[in-house]
Amino acid sequence: MKPSPRIKRKRIGLCCLFLLSFSVISCASNIRYYPQLNEYLYARDYDSACRLIKESRKDFKKRDILLYYLDEGLIAHFASRYEESNRSLSQAGSIMDKLYTRSLSREAASFVINDNTIPYRGEDFESALVNLFMSLNYAGLGLWDDALVEARKVDNKLNILNARYEENERNVYREDAFIRFLMGVLYEAQGEINDAYISYWKSQEIYRTDYLPNYGVSPPAFLIKSLLGAAQAMGFQEELMEIQREYPDIAIERQVTKKDMAEVYFIHYNGPGPEKVEEYFLVPMPDGYIMKMAYPGFVKKSYGIRGSKILLENLSSRRSYSFDTALMEDISSIAVKNLDNRIGRIRAKAIVRMTAKYLMARAAEKAARENGGDILGLMVRAASQIISLTTEHADIRHWRLLPAEIRVGRAVIAPGEYEGKISFVTAGGTAVDSIHTPRFSITKGEKKFFTFRTLN
Amino acid sequence: MRNYRILPMILFLGAVFLLPNCALTPKVDRMAADTTVDISGRWNDADSRMVADEMIRDCLERPWLNRFSDGHGGRIPAVIVGMVRNRSHEHINVQTFVKDMERALIDSGRVQFVASKGERGQIRGERLDMAAHASDETMKGPGEEIGADFMLIGTLNTIRDEAAGKAVMFYQVNLELVAMADNVKVWIGGKKIKKLIEKRRFKW
């Protein structure tokens, strides 16, 4: 029995409504605050940046709310509002944790619409960086135990994330050398020299065997100095000689002198982080349909500042300390590699989605042609072609406020009151910007952390 | 007749408006403090209570107490709480079981605790204030504090293993009593807790 004209119209209507609904639910949140936010960051106006983020909360769709907490937490970290930052980042961590359980309905939708229909659960490296920044927040607050808890979570998380993939699909970023170094510093602050030695050793090993070949980042000299110091303090003579053979140019710091001194760590977040962009190509089908296949890719952004120099002056003795920062975490390169490691899976899904859209468009056209004639068939073909092209978007959601790199400067200084300056320099060594460090006092055996952000 | 038709409609609309309000009010059930409720699988009050119960029982049963009393003319030992370090993967407040243990040992009448480093400053400040403002009869002078015989120190460690939505969380709490005079460890208490946490990989 042939369907009545009324039922035919209903079917075609439903078909169009279904396709139209794709366009409505396929978009990510319309977050427009980044240009303004970057201006505030350039001007180091963190209060305005924090305010802007809070005011923009309503612009985030529920499925993108993770990005809101990531941004809020990182801006608060740059502003040295460590407790506030931890609240937001902890919220982000909980969301990532909850999103481990995947919604079958949303996953199914992502196979026929696009990946933006799924709640954003963060890239693997972003997930680890949440705990890295939380660890730095606790370190900034002087809460060593809590900083270590977060540092352990980074290591644990990287293990768990990689265990989810097949051996040949695992991330290059499977261990974090910087967090191991930080753990060493924190253990040392607690007087746990054996644990500090193990962390420093592991850190230099990751730099040498992983960070250097993959990202071109070598172990900084002060890491090796700390490692030598810890080995000497523990009386590990064989290990001490082995390290000295590996790094013959680096001199050992005298532990007796170090015991009466304090340590400062200047963490310089440099450059804009990489941007996730859409890459796509159009595929002509044998029957004339043009289908689109879109997938994301990270693009590194350029920046002029390539280093920083710190000058500190002891206000009573007038003795000054000058030292440079060294690159410890190349976040841009980690991001690029991390996405590269899973791009095969993303592309395979994009092919399945493109095929599904093509088959649906063909089915809609056939139904329209059979029920309403050639003209309606052509109209539906045109409409479904437009919809399938406009709904195919790569998921380019990412943690936009991340820095390109983390640089660290460290100095062993005499206890006392200090003020100083940090100069930001180009690759040629020319200072293009500088800011005064906050005036601070430091006691014997104390460790202090300071953070700075540059974008240009 | 028309009014009778409107009435159910008003009731229905009223219910529609009221229902979300009902849902927004948090539901609170009071329960006994010793009830075990596991929600996330992370460290919770039940774990803290289990550690405290085990430590109190073990600490009071071991021979260090009698040995000390016998060697010191029946005097009960004074203990100071030192650092109990959290070396786990979670932010755990170790004060909960340390305070439970402190309270239970004081209540037993066989151990006394002296104020810890952090608490002492406040008390000494008050004593100085007394010297200036309290009457001679009620004023407490310096040099009367009891020195601790033992220090309570400890660690909380975890081992976490996780794969395919299942996690095994192993907690080990160790508390130690170290003699202040000669660094001899007179008691080591331990409590191990193991949990299997399963996460759903999919939902509808």
Taking the CA of residue A163 and the nearest CA in chain B, the distance in Å comes to 7
Neighbours of A119 (CB within 10 A): 18
Taking the CA of residue A84 and the nearest CA in chain B, the distance in Å comes to 16
Give contacts of A189 with chain B, Cβ < 8 Å: none
Last residue of a domain, one of A155, A174, A193: A174
Taking the CA of residue B105 and the nearest CA in chain A, the distance in Å comes to 27
**Is B94 a member of any domain?**
yes
**Is B194 a member of any domain?**
yes
Q: What is the CATH number of the domain that holds B109?
A: 3.40.50
Asked if A149 and B204 come within 8 Å (Cβ–Cβ), the reply is no
**Is B141 a member of any domain?**
no
- Specify the pTM: 0.85
Is pLDDT of B21 > 50?
A: no
Range of the domain at B81: 37-116+147-198
Please say whether the beta carbons of A46 and A40 come within 8 A. yes
Q: What's phi and psi for A323, nearest 5 deg?
A: -155, 155
User: What's the total number of domains in chain B?
Assistant: 1
Report the alpha-carbon distance of residue A15 to residue A12 in Å, rounded.
5
Range of the domain at A277: 260-349+403-456
Give contacts of B199 with chain A, Cβ < 8 Å: 100-101
Q: What is the pLDDT at residue A176? A: 96
Report the alpha-carbon distance of residue A444 to residue A415 in Å, rounded.
5
Q: Which is nearest to B56 in space by CA: B185, B147, B191, B194?
A: B191
Q: What is the CATH number of the domain that holds A287?
A: 2.60.40.3540
Taking the CA of residue A128 and the nearest CA in chain B, the distance in Å comes to 14
Q: What is the CATH number of the domain that holds A42?
A: 1.25.40
Q: What is the pLDDT at residue B20? A: 46
Give contacts of A163 with chain B, Cβ < 8 Å: 162-164
Check whether residue A291 and residue A414 sit in a common domain: yes
Which ranges of A26-176 would DSSP assign to H, the alpha helix?
34-42, 46-55, 65-78, 82-98, 104-112, 124-141, 144-163
Q: What is the dihedral of CA A58, A64, A70, A73, to 10 degrees?
A: 20
Residue A94 contacts B, CB cutoff 8 Å: no
Report the alpha-carbon distance of residue A17 to residue A23 in Å, rounded.
10
Check whether residue A317 and residue A436 sit in a common domain: yes
pLDDT digits (tens, 9 = 90+) for A424-454: 999 999 999 999 998 999 999 899 999 999 9
Of residues B87, B163, B202, nearest to A102 (C-beta): B202
Q: What is the pLDDT at residue B22? A: 47
DSSP assignment string, A288-338 = S-EEEEEEEEEEPPP-S--EEEEEEEETTT--EEEEE-EEEE-HHHHHHHH
Neighbours of B49 (CB within 10 A): 16
Q: What is the pLDDT at residue A153? A: 94
Question: Looking at chain A, which residue has its C-alpha nearest residue B167?
Answer: A160
Question: Looking at chain A, which residue has its C-alpha nearest residue B162?
Answer: A160
Q: What's phi and psi for A63, nearest 5 deg?
A: -75, -10
Check whether residue A280 and residue A417 sit in a common domain: yes
Give contacts of B86 with chain A, Cβ < 8 Å: 145-146, 149
**Is B130 a member of any domain?**
no
Q: What's phi and psi for A407, nearest 5 deg?
A: -110, 145
Q: Which is nearest to A358 in space by CA: A329, A332, A391?
A: A391
Give contacts of A96 with chain B, Cβ < 8 Å: none
Please say whether the beta carbons of A238 and A254 come within 8 A. no
Angle between helices A177-189 and A124-141 (to 10 degrees): 20
Check whether residue A264 and residue A335 sit in a common domain: yes
**Is A362 a member of any domain?**
no
Provide the b/e sequence for B115-154 (b: ≥16 CB within 10 Å): bbeeeeeeeeeebeeeeeeeeeeeeeeeeeeeebbbbbbb
Give contacts of B160 with chain A, Cβ < 8 Å: 156
Last residue of a domain, one of A125, A150, A174: A174
**Is A394 a member of any domain?**
no
- Mean pLDDT in residue range B13-37: 66
Is pLDDT of B118 > 90?
A: no
Beta partners for residue A204, in sequence order: none
Helix (H), strand (E) at residue A421? strand A416-425
Best-predicted range by mean pLDDT (A131-140, A278-287, B2-11, B95-104): A131-140
Is pLDDT of B58 > 80?
A: yes
**Is A17 a member of any domain?**
no
Asked if B89 and A152 come within 8 Å (Cβ–Cβ), the reply is yes
**Is A223 a member of any domain?**
yes
Query: Which residue numbers in chain A have pLDDT < 70?
Result: 1-28, 255-256
Handedness of CA A63, A74, A124, A23 (dihedral sign): positive
Residue B200 contacts A, CB cutoff 8 Å: yes
Asked if B202 and A156 come within 8 Å (Cβ–Cβ), the reply is no
Check whether residue A303 and residue A428 sit in a common domain: yes
Rg for chain A, CA atoms, rounded: 27
pLDDT digits (tens, 9 = 90+) for A397-409: 999 999 999 999 9
Asked if A145 and B90 come within 8 Å (Cβ–Cβ), the reply is no
**Is B154 a member of any domain?**
yes
Residue A148 contacts B, CB cutoff 8 Å: yes
Check whether residue A195 and residue A93 sit in a common domain: no
Last residue of a domain, one of A195, A229, A252: A252
Q: What is the pLDDT at residue A373? A: 86
Tell me how many degrees the CA angle B20-B25-B27 measures, rounded to the nearest 5.
125
**Is B20 a member of any domain?**
no
**Is A373 a member of any domain?**
no
Residue B90 contacts A, CB cutoff 8 Å: yes
- Three-state SS at B81: strand
**Is B50 a member of any domain?**
yes
Asked if A152 and B162 come within 8 Å (Cβ–Cβ), the reply is no
Determine how β-strand A403-413 pairs with β-strand A262-272.
Answer: antiparallel
- Mean pLDDT in residue range B189-195: 95
Give contacts of A152 with chain B, Cβ < 8 Å: 88-89
Q: What is the pLDDT at residue B2? A: 47
Provide the b/e sequence for B69-81 (b: ≥16 CB within 10 Å): eeeeeeebbbbbb
A122 residue type, one letter: G
**Is A388 a member of any domain?**
no
Of residues B160, B165, B203, nearest to A104 (C-beta): B203
Is pLDDT of B23 > 50?
A: no
DSSP assignment string, A355-405 = HHHHHHHHHHHHHHHHHHHHHHHHHHHHHHHHHHHHH--------TT-EEE
- What pLDDT band is residue B1 in, cutting at 50, 70 and 90? very low
A48 residue type, one letter: S
**Is A305 a member of any domain?**
yes
**Is A386 a member of any domain?**
no
Check whether residue A117 and residue A137 sit in a common domain: yes
Report the alpha-carbon distance of residue B29 to residue A108 in Å, rounded.
38
Determine how β-strand A447-454 pairs with β-strand A262-272.
Answer: parallel
- What pLDDT band is residue B18 in, cutting at 50, 70 and 90? very low
Asked if B204 and A101 come within 8 Å (Cβ–Cβ), the reply is no
Which ranges of B84-176 would DSSP assign to H, the alpha helix?
95-108, 117-133
Q: What is the pLDDT at residue B8? A: 57
Please say whether the beta carbons of A135 and A127 come within 8 A. no
Give contacts of A105 with chain B, Cβ < 8 Å: 204
Of residues B86, B162, B203, nearest to A149 (C-beta): B86
Residue A153 contacts B, CB cutoff 8 Å: yes
Q: Within a 13 Å sphere around the CA of A38, how many CA atoms are in the beta-carbon half?
A: 12
Q: What is the pLDDT at residue B17? A: 47
Residue B89 contacts A, CB cutoff 8 Å: yes
Report the alpha-carbon distance of residue A78 to residue A85 in Å, rounded.
9
Handedness of CA A8, A10, A12, A14 (dihedral sign): negative
**Is B139 a member of any domain?**
no
Asked if B203 and A103 come within 8 Å (Cβ–Cβ), the reply is yes
Q: What is the pLDDT at residue B165? A: 80
